[in-house]
Amino acid sequence: MTGRQKVGRNAGYALLAVVLWFLLYLFAWRGMRFFLIPSESMEPTLLKSDYIITLNYGHPPQDPERFDVIVFKDVEDPTAYAVKRVIGLPGEEIAIHDGAVFIDGEYLSEPYVPERPVYTYEPQVVPEDEYFVLGDNRNRSSDSSLWRRSVPREDIIGRAVLIYNPVQRMGRIR
């Protein structure tokens, strides 16, 4: 074996080590997971049958932020998962009326919502360590407004970051 072949083989091993380290980082450290979108509740952001990738909130864990799209244990069926957008943070007062969401009395601009909500949600404070979530398809979503409760922090699996299938919709989730 020539010196050039040894260098090439060593470079191949180094590349393999880097790829394996990156995959270990994504799966173990960042908690990368894969999910199938089961309903139309997040349209137009996510379509039924989209496949997405989630990442957990890191080490040390960070808290979800407003507008994050998250996957969590379904409030109605703890053996299933749900996908919604974080709207209300712990300690905030949420109200929905006149086709709009209000946080602590202030209007929340949501350009990603295709239809304004046709329902009302009386003002309610989000409990500590919980998050108020809504589907982007407000009038066709089973979410915090319907459940009359928020999602506990410990039930959140991760933040949806990428659509990977179908290929024509592949890209970052905004």
Residue 143, φ and ψ in degrees, nearest 5: -150, -165
pLDDT tens digits along 144-156: 999 999 999 999 9
Given 39, 41, 142, 150, the catalytic residue = 41
Q: Band of the pLDDT at 161, cuts 50, 70, 90?
A: very high
DSSP string of 71-106, one letter each residue: EEE-SS-TTSEEEEEEEE-TT-EEEEETTEEEETTE
User: Which fold, 32-172?
Assistant: Umud Fragment, subunit A (2.10.109)
Domain ranges of the chain: 1-30, 32-172
Q: pLDDT tens digits, residue range 21-70? A: 666 665 555 577 889 999 999 999 999 999 998 988 765 568 899 999 99
Tracing tokens 């500590």 back to the chain, one arrives at 128
Please choose, from the candidates 84, 55, 52, 57, the residue with its C-alpha nearest in 3D space to the C-alpha of residue 149: 84
Buried b (16+ CB within 10 A) or exposed e, 33-56: bebebebebbbebbeeebbbbbbb
Residue 6 annotated in active site: no
0.75 exceeded by pTM: yes
Inter-residue contact 99 to 116 (CB < 8 Å)? yes
Whether 41 is catalytic: yes
For the purposes of burial, counting CB atoms within 10 Å of the CB of 128, is it exposed (0-12), middle (13-18) or buried (19 or more)? exposed
Residue pair 70/64 in contact by the 8 Å Cβ criterion:
yes
Distance of CA 78 to the CA centre of its chain: 17
Considering the candidates 84, 141, 144, 150, report the single residue annotated as catalytic: 84
Would you call 116 helix, strand, or coil by DSSP? coil
Count of other CB atoms within 10 angstroms of residue 113: 21
Q: Give the lowest-confidence range in 54-58, 97-101, 129-133, 134-138.
A: 54-58
